């Protein structure tokens, strides 16, 4: 082999090796301790064990949430598909490895729900969740979010979510949410009456 060919081959091998090392570093660029520290930081707003928090405005429960959903939402905040300056500042400094690690830790948390919805609305909410509102063209919530509202992939967990948070989200639904199923939820949210939104939110707030 000529000298030029050897150099080209060595360069190619070195490039492949460095690329592999770089990918390995990207994949393992955060330690469990770093993820734990970031989780503790998030709990300042999202509550103990990320169970949600009633502050100046309701801050959602993230415990038990689907990994893919959290990853997608954080990306949405960073890309300004969802508008929240606090979450933009939190998300845009995190690496993909940190986001994945944090989302996984949130998913593994399982505190008791705060159960803050009016209990007298729970039966009506249960019916809407299981059967939908056929007259309004609203399908059963369970058809996407699962029979126990645990979610799947991009469809979020709703079980145990704060009552006022669900009410506010469904009442003021926007298409600029940066989530893959936003186009599915927008017509549904707009088709629900205020009393129906409150009922399903109350039901979900008590689910474990």
Residue 58's nearest CA partner among 172, 208, 167 is 167
Neighbours of 105 (CB within 10 A): 20
Helix or strand or coil: residue 141? coil
What is the predicted pLDDT for the residue at 176? Answer: 56
What is the predicted pLDDT for the residue at 75? Answer: 87
Stated as kind and residue range, the H or E segment containing 58 is strand 58-59
State the average pLDDT over residues 65-91: 90
Calculate the average pLDDT of the chain: 86
CA distance 91 to 86: 9
Q: What confidence category does residue 28 fall into, taking pLDDT thresholds of 50, 70 and 90? A: low
Q: Say if CB 59 and CB 46 are below 8 A apart.
A: yes
What is the predicted pLDDT for the residue at 89? Answer: 93
What is the predicted pLDDT for the residue at 47? Answer: 97
Q: What confidence category does residue 25 fall into, taking pLDDT thresholds of 50, 70 and 90? A: very low
Distances (CA, A) of 192 to 19, 87, 131, 196: 51, 28, 13, 6
pLDDT exceeds 60 at position 24: no
Residue 76 DSSP symbol: H
Sort 48 into a burial class: Cβ within 10 Å, 0-12 / 13-18 / 19+: exposed
Q: What confidence category does residue 76 fall into, taking pLDDT thresholds of 50, 70 and 90? A: confident
State the average pLDDT over residues 8-12: 41
Q: Say if CB 201 and CB 124 are below 8 A apart.
A: no
What is the predicted pLDDT for the residue at 177? Answer: 60
What is the predicted pLDDT for the residue at 179? Answer: 54
State the average pLDDT over residues 96-110: 96
What is the predicted pLDDT for the residue at 14? Answer: 35
Q: Say if CB 60 and CB 86 are below 8 A apart.
A: no
State the average pLDDT over residues 195-205: 98
Q: What is the pLDDT of residues 123-175, one digit of tens each?
A: 999 999 999 999 999 999 999 999 999 999 989 999 999 999 999 999 988 75
């Amino acid at each position: 082999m000529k000298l030029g060919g050897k150099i080209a081959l060595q360069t190619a091998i070195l490039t492949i090796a460095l690329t592999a090392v770089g990918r390995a570093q990207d994949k393992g660029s955060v330690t469990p301790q770093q993820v734990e520290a970031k989780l503790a930081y998030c709990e300042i707003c999202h509550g103990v064990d990320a169970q949600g928090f009633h502050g100046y405005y309701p801050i959602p429960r993230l415990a038990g949430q689907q990994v893919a959903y959290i990853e997608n939402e954080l990306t949405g905040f960073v890309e300004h598909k969802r508008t929240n300056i606090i979450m933009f500042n939190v998300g845009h400094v995190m690496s993909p490895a940190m986001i994945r690690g944090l989302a996984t830790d949130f998913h593994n948390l399982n505190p008791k729900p705060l159960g803050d919805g009016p209990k007298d609305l729970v039966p009506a909410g249960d019916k809407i969740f299981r059967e939908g509102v056929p007259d309004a063209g609203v399908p059963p919530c369970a058809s996407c979010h699962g029979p126990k509202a645990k979610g799947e992939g991009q469809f979020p967990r709703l079980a145990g979510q704060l009552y006022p948070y669900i009410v506010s989200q469904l009442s003021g639904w926007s298409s600029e949410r940066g989530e893959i199923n936003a186009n599915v939820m927008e017509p549904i949210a707009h088709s629900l009456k205020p009393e129906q939104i409150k009922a399903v939110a109350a039901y979900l707030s008590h689910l474990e």
